[in-house]
Chain A
Amino acid sequence: MPLEKVVVTGVGIISPLGHSLELLTDALLAGESGVRNLPELEQVGGLRSRIAAVVTGIEPKLIPRKLRRSMSNMSIYAYLASQQALEMATFPAEQLSAGRTGVVIGSTLGSTASSEQFFADYFTDYSLERMKSGLFFQIMGHSCAANVAQSLGITGRVMAPSAACATSCQAIGYAYEQIAFGRQDAMLCGGADEFHPLTVATFDIMHAASTGYNQQPEQSPRPFDAARDGMVCGEGSGILLLEKKSIAEARGATILAEVVGFATTSDTSSIATPDVGAMYECMRLAVEDAGISAAGLDYVNAHATGTLQGDVAEAEAIRQLVGNQVPVSSFKGHLGHTMAASGAIELSASIGMMRRGELAATRNLQQIDKACAGLFHLQQNLKTQPKYILKNNFAMGGINSTVIIRSIKHD
């Protein structure tokens, strides 16, 4: 069965480093950090990590109340990013409700802040009488996807993959497959997550959160660096508009990139500890899906969160795939780990850099850990015109995912 070609025509970004693709790309290429010390984290007993990369400067009240009442921050981020993506693509409004446009947007959980708010009240007397109607819509697992579809009037397929840090990489891949198989003509896809101290705690209790840079927040996380001590939580949303290439071309849309490969696999060796072979296999399958060889890759945007084990495993897997011939960098040093949004935000930024002809270095990578060596690590920005970009995301639960995009500049 012939597959449809799938292209990216719009990108929306709500991030700790700006709320558009242009601003984010500027900040990453300038080597900026969105990580800050959050004094309120000192109030959480036992929490050792006190830093995070949070979103500032948005105005939720610009969203009509009836749309906003069912949204927690993560859905607000996803909605604002979706609006941006549609505007960038000059997507025809009538297509949203024609049944051939869908949504694949996921988050790690429903809103933890809304859950906390409810249970804090519920535990006072175990009464449901003060529970407002919008609560369920904020804590349900498909909150972001449903809120985006409802608020924008999108009537096609709605899906909400939830695979922690691999969520939006999977979402992009699933959207790509929906269009490639001819089931939909356009998909808003990506992920969103909102910051909550319990998210930091999740990683802190597993000794995976950065705890040694509370007074020097901009020096962490440190992907692949010898002095790295864990990941730093972030938040935001990245949304891409994917379209069937022939339709996008026919309507004269600006094509930002083509999605050419996707793979997602389950690593059953451990629910928490990544396996080199499983990571390698996921990347190999994506390369195979793209119909290229690993030697054809021009840049790898790593998941690399700055954890001790994860970075070593990913570095080894990338080394097995491309040796030291392909530039590799991670944006976690700039953005922290935006969780379910990270795949979409970082892939979007990679597209922004691909179009500008410059790749951002890994922030805070000063001394490459020997166990992460043997790669073409970007410690300085690199001016280049990449054709094929591979994007990884690996998640707790043993979920691996890889997306490959192609520049259309070379056509």
Chain B
Amino acid sequence: MTEQEVIELIDSSLAEEFELARADMTPEANIYEDLGLDSLDTVDMVIVLEGAFNFKIREEESVRAIRTLGDIHRFVFEKVSGL
């Protein structure tokens, strides 16, 4: 997958799950303050991403450091690229 395809799949998956407006989904958007997610949502976010990309990330430390949508883009792209 290209980076753009990864970003598109992340954004479309999260937009559907959390009923987000795509216009609000900028890389700088803080997932808590700007997109309105909370701790229960982050549990579901991990499941949605695992389902979309067919990987396991629940136990990864770096997931907990995610704050922005851009953080998710980078984290997932590195994961699927095997970086």
A residues with a Cβ closer than 8 A to B are 61, 65-66, 69, 129-134
Verify A129–B18 contact, CB threshold 8 A: no
State how many angstroms separate the Cβ of B70 from the closest Cβ of chain A. 23
Task: Provide the residues of chain A in CB contact with B5, threshold 8 Å.
Answer: none
Cβ-based interface call for B44 (8 A) = yes
Verify A133–B19 contact, CB threshold 8 A: no
Contact of B51 among A65, A69, A130, A134 (CB under 8 A): A130
- Using a Cβ–Cβ cut-off of 8 Å, how many residues does chain B contribute to the interface with A? 13
Distance A69 CA – B38 CA, assembled complex (angstroms):
12
Cβ-based interface call for B47 (8 A) = yes
Q: Which residue of B lies closest to A69 (CB)?
A: B40
Distance A399 CA – B19 CA, assembled complex (angstroms):
43
Cβ-based interface call for B50 (8 A) = yes
Task: Provide the residues of chain A in CB contact with B67, threshold 8 Å.
Answer: none
Given contacts A65-B18, A130-B50, A134-B40, could you give 12 more A-B pairs where the C-beta distance is less than 8 Å?
A61-B19, A66-B38, A129-B47, A129-B56, A129-B58, A130-B51, A132-B43, A132-B44, A132-B47, A133-B40, A133-B43, A134-B44
Distance A133 CA – B58 CA, assembled complex (angstroms):
13
- Could you show 5 A-B contacts with beta carbons less than 8 Å apart? A65-B18, A66-B36, A129-B56, A130-B50, A134-B40
State how many angstroms separate the Cβ of A70 from the closest Cβ of chain B. 8
State how many angstroms separate the Cβ of A218 from the closest Cβ of chain B. 38
Task: Provide the residues of chain B in CB contact with A133, threshold 8 Å.
Answer: 40-41, 43-44
Q: Which residue of A lies closest to B46 (CB)?
A: A129
Distance A19 CA – B51 CA, assembled complex (angstroms):
38
Task: Provide the residues of chain A in CB contact with B19, threshold 8 Å.
Answer: 61, 65
Max count, chain A CB within 10 A of own CB: residue among B18, B19, B36: B19
Nearest first, the 9 A-B pairs at minimum CB distance are A133-B40, A133-B43, A132-B44, A65-B19, A133-B44, A132-B47, A130-B47, A130-B51, A65-B18
Distance A131 CA – B47 CA, assembled complex (angstroms):
8
Task: Provide the residues of chain A in CB contact with B58, threshold 8 Å.
Answer: 129
Task: Provide the residues of chain A in CB contact with B44, threshold 8 Å.
Answer: 132-134
Task: Provide the residues of chain B in CB contact with A66, threshold 8 Å.
Answer: 36, 38
Q: Say whether chain A's binding surface is mostly helix, strand, loop, or mixed.
A: loop
Distance A267 CA – B47 CA, assembled complex (angstroms):
47
Distance A132 CA – B41 CA, assembled complex (angstroms):
9
Task: Provide the residues of chain B in CB contact with A61, threshold 8 Å.
Answer: 19
Verify A129–B50 contact, CB threshold 8 A: yes
Distance A212 CA – B58 CA, assembled complex (angstroms):
52
Distance A65 CA – B41 CA, assembled complex (angstroms):
11
State how many angstroms separate the Cβ of A94 from the closest Cβ of chain B. 25
State how many angstroms separate the Cβ of B60 from the closest Cβ of chain A. 14
Distance A133 CA – B41 CA, assembled complex (angstroms):
8
State how many angstroms separate the Cβ of A162 from the closest Cβ of chain B. 25
Task: Provide the residues of chain A in CB contact with B51, threshold 8 Å.
Answer: 130
**B7-47 with Cβ < 8 A to chain A:** 18-19, 36, 38, 40-41, 43-44, 47
Q: Which residue of A lies closest to B17 (CB)?
A: A132
State how many angstroms separate the Cβ of B28 from the closest Cβ of chain A. 22
Task: Provide the residues of chain B in CB contact with A132, threshold 8 Å.
Answer: 43-44, 47
Distance A130 CA – B19 CA, assembled complex (angstroms):
19
State how many angstroms separate the Cβ of B31 from the closest Cβ of chain A. 14
Distance A141 CA – B74 CA, assembled complex (angstroms):
41
State how many angstroms separate the Cβ of A221 from the closest Cβ of chain B. 39
State how many angstroms separate the Cβ of A140 from the closest Cβ of chain B. 15
Q: Which residue of A lies closest to B38 (CB)?
A: A66
State how many angstroms separate the Cβ of A61 from the closest Cβ of chain B. 8
Distance A131 CA – B41 CA, assembled complex (angstroms):
12
Interface 1/0 per residue, B40-71 and A, CB below 8 Å: 11011001001100001010000000000000
Distance A122 CA – B4 CA, assembled complex (angstroms):
33
State how many angstroms separate the Cβ of A127 from the closest Cβ of chain B. 11
Task: Provide the residues of chain B in CB contact with A65, threshold 8 Å.
Answer: 18-19
Distance A134 CA – B38 CA, assembled complex (angstroms):
13
Distance A349 CA – B41 CA, assembled complex (angstroms):
40
